[in-house]
Amino acid sequence: MGETPQDPEFRDLLFPTEDGPGPVAQRVPPHAAWDEALSGLVPAPPTERRRKYVLLLLATLLTTTVVGAGHYAGWATDFGRRPLDLTTWAFYASGLWYSLSILAILGSHEMGHYLACRYYGVDASLPYFLPAPVLTGTLGAFIRIRQPIATKRELFDIGIAGPLAGFAVAVPVLVIGMGLSQMVRVPPDMVGLELGEPLLFRAVSWLWFGTPPDGYSVNLHPMAFAAWFGLLATALNLIPIGQLDGGHISYAVLGRRSTSVTLVMVACLIGLSFVSSSWIVWTVLTIGMLVGFGPRHPRTIDEDVPLDRGRLWLAGAALVMLAICFTPAPIEPMELVRPQPPQPHSPYEQQASTAPSTDPHPLTRAF
């Protein structure tokens, strides 16, 4: 969120005191068009320099394409069984399978927020993409909302527009990507990462491949990996905490009671950090956000006005989306999840223990 304007009339309109609405809010009749009431108080959005957005987008396209080429190599070689020339431009161009897919998912998410802001006249930036030389090639994307959001209806619509748009793109990318993936035997000496399976991901995998036999795994096509990351990003944003998308939705539905939800969900994240170390970074970032901005969501002028039934149904849909995109252990090293053979006590057992161990999890990526 951007900084709150310091004009006292504007502040009183957006943040009524405990004794009742401020002097400006009193002049707004119930269920009136708050957009019209705010139109004279909200400053015009500044002229933006679009160069920084384009440069960040191009940098993220580069990092995700390079990382995507590595994902393509793991898929095309069947975990290293088949040769692949890694020195050609065609090899690096193959990274576009991943980069274009993940940028489409993340870009749709942020453009959902941006277009909802434009619809309600809320000043917001274009999406900032974050390049990073990590497993995913990016840390995601975000927009800056430069002014307080006046009503719960606007807050809800802006908050839910991103996850809905990103999810609408992630689902077809998942279906296509899973169809391009392959069922292969896992090498006994393979070193890689095990991906936790959201319910939706598991369902699409089962529709394409059924239940993998022992020792086999789905070698994910880069598009399927992009969809996996997109579903994970959707779930992280929908967690009802603070000023995440889920926090906006929670406040719009529950009002001040959303603070209790935030504290409970932080406790859950801390617990998940003991289940999987992959939650530690997100938990630390979330706690840092709450320390910096506080656990209470910024108030709207209609905090006690309930949402309409249609938006309550959409809030339920967002909860379902969170459930089917969530996984308690997103990424784990294979040696931590692969069952170990028992220690041998005889020459026969020593020979048997050298047989390849089976992989109980059907989704594997080699990195």
pLDDT tens track for 77-111:
876 666 666 677 777 889 999 999 999 999 999 99
- What count of other Cβ atoms lies within 10 Å of the Cβ of residue 41? 15
Residue 91 is predicted with a pLDDT of: 78
- 340: Cβ–Cβ under 8 A, 6 or more apart, which residues? 357
Residue 12 clears pLDDT 70, i.e. is over it:
no
- HEC states along 237-282? HHCCCCCCHHHHHHHHHHHHHHHHHHHHHHHHHHHHHHHCHHHHHH
Residue 302 or 2, more confident: 302
- Whether 60 has a pLDDT exceeding 90, the answer reads yes
CA pair distance 355, 335, nearest whole angstrom: 16
Assess whether pLDDT exceeds 90 at residue 1. Answer: no
Provide the pairing of β-strand 193-195 with 138-142: unpaired
Stretch 180-199: mean pLDDT, rounded?
82
- Banded model confidence at residue 356, pLDDT cuts 50, 70, 90: very low
- Check residues 71 and 22 and name the one with the higher pLDDT: 71
Pairwise CA distance, residues 247 & 259, whole Å = 9
Q: Give the separation between CA 171 and CA 109, rounded to whole angstroms.
A: 13
- Looking at the chain, list the stretches that DSSP marks H as alpha helix, in order from N- to C-terminal side: 8-14, 23-26, 34-38, 51-76, 89-93, 96-120, 152-180, 199-209, 222-238, 245-254, 258-275, 280-293, 309-325, 334-337, 347-352
Q: What is the pLDDT of residue 212?
A: 84
Does 179 or 9 have the greater pLDDT score?
A: 179
d(Cα 14, Cα 295) in Å, to the nearest integer?
18
- With pLDDT > 90 as the criterion, what percentage of the chain qualifies? 54
Confidence of residue 46 (pLDDT cuts 50, 70, 90): low
Q: What pLDDT, on the 0 to 100 scale, is given for residue 345?
A: 41
Question: Which among 289, 304, 303, 280 is positioned nearest to 241, based on CA atoms?
Answer: 289
Q: Could you state, in order of their start, the residue ranges of all structural domains in the chain?
A: 42-337+357-365
Comparing 349 with 361, the larger pLDDT belongs to: 361
Cα 278 to Cα 275: distance, rounded to the nearest angstrom: 9
Higher-pLDDT residue of 148 and 41 is: 148
pLDDT at 243 over 60: yes
- Let me know: does 365 contact 312? Beta carbons within 8 Å: no
Q: How far apart are CA 310 and CA 157, in angstroms?
A: 11
Instruction: Determine the pLDDT at residue 9.
Output: 43
Whether 162 shows a pLDDT value over 90: the answer reads yes
Give residue 348's pLDDT: 35
- Mapping DSSP onto H, E and C, the string for 319-345 reads HHHHHHHCCCCCEEEHHHHCCCCCCCC
Query: Mean per-residue pLDDT for 216-222?
Result: 89
Beta strands 363-365; 216-219: pairing state: parallel
The overall average pLDDT reported for the chain is 80
pLDDT at residue 246 in the model: 95
pLDDT category of residue 363 using cuts at 50, 70 and 90: low
Residue range 166-172: average pLDDT?
97
Give the pLDDT score at 33. Answer: 47
Percent of the chain whose pLDDT exceeds 70: 74
Region 144-151: mean pLDDT is 92
